[in-house]
């Protein structure tokens, strides 16, 4: 059974209360995974927006910032910029691109997944002292 993230988000926004479930998701060109849906009873619209944001942020982290194909595309585009630079900095530029782009994108993805929704003001930072 294929369930798209859009269907899950629609359930979160429209129904506002769903039972905990493990929903199989089969993305194109990757292994099937399970999305664990937490129960929401009497959730406020802000809680649902936060949950939806975190779901999207996690998806971006997994499917964009840690996607080998997209990392390669980013490196190729930056390599093209290096190719128009003077010969004196060309090799340095290529080395910088190839050594930093994967790690930089990974760090951005980790930030988006862990703190992005708080930074946007969608989720509250619940620090317990």
> What was the pLDDT predicted at 84?
92
User: Considering the chain, what is the average pLDDT of its residues?
Assistant: 75
Provide the pLDDT for residue 28: 59
67 pLDDT tier (thresholds 50, 70, 90)? confident
Whole-number Å distance between alpha carbons of 98 and 26: 31
Q: What is the pLDDT of residues 76-111, one digit of tens each?
A: 999 999 999 999 999 999 999 999 998 999 999 998
Q: Mapped to the 3 state alphabet, what secondary structure does the chain carry?
A: CCCCHHHHHHHHHHCCCCCCEEEEECCCCCCCEEEEECCCCCCCHHHHHHHHHHHHHHHHHHHHHCCHHHHHHHHHHHHHHHHCCCHHHHHHHHHHHHHHHHHHHHHHHHHHHHHHHHHCCCCCCCCCC
Task: Output 123 or 35, whichever has higher pLDDT.
Answer: 123
The whole-number pLDDT of residue 60 equals 87
The neighbour count for residue 97, using CB atoms within 10 Å, is 20
pLDDT in the model for residue 93 = 92
pTM: predicted TM-score of the whole model, two decimal places: 0.56
Domains and CATH numbers, the chain: 1-42 (no CATH), 44-129 (1.10.225)
Q: Alpha-carbon distance 20 to 14, whole Å?
A: 16
| pLDDT value, residue 10 | 55
Q: What is the mean pLDDT of residues 47-63?
A: 87
Between 20 and 121, the higher pLDDT residue: 121
Range 47-73 average pLDDT: 88
Judge whether residue 21 has pLDDT over 80: no
59 confidence band (pLDDT: 50, 70, 90): confident
């Amino acid at each position: 059974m294929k369930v798209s993230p859009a269907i899950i988000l629609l359930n979160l926004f429209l129904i506002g209360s769903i039972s905990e479930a493990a929903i199989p998701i089969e993305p194109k060109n990757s292994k099937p995974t399970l999305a664990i849906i937490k129960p929401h009873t009497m959730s406020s619209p802000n809680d649902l927006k936060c949950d939806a944001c975190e779901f999207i942020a996690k998806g971006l982290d997994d499917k964009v910032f840690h996607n080998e194909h997209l990392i390669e595309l980013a490196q190729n585009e930056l390599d093209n910029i290096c190719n128009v630079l003077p010969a004196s900095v060309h090799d340095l530029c290529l080395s910088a691109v190839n050594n930093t782009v994967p790690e930089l994108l990974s760090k951005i993805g980790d930030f988006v997944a862990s703190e992005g929704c708080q930074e946007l003001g969608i989720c509250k930072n619940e620090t317990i002292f």
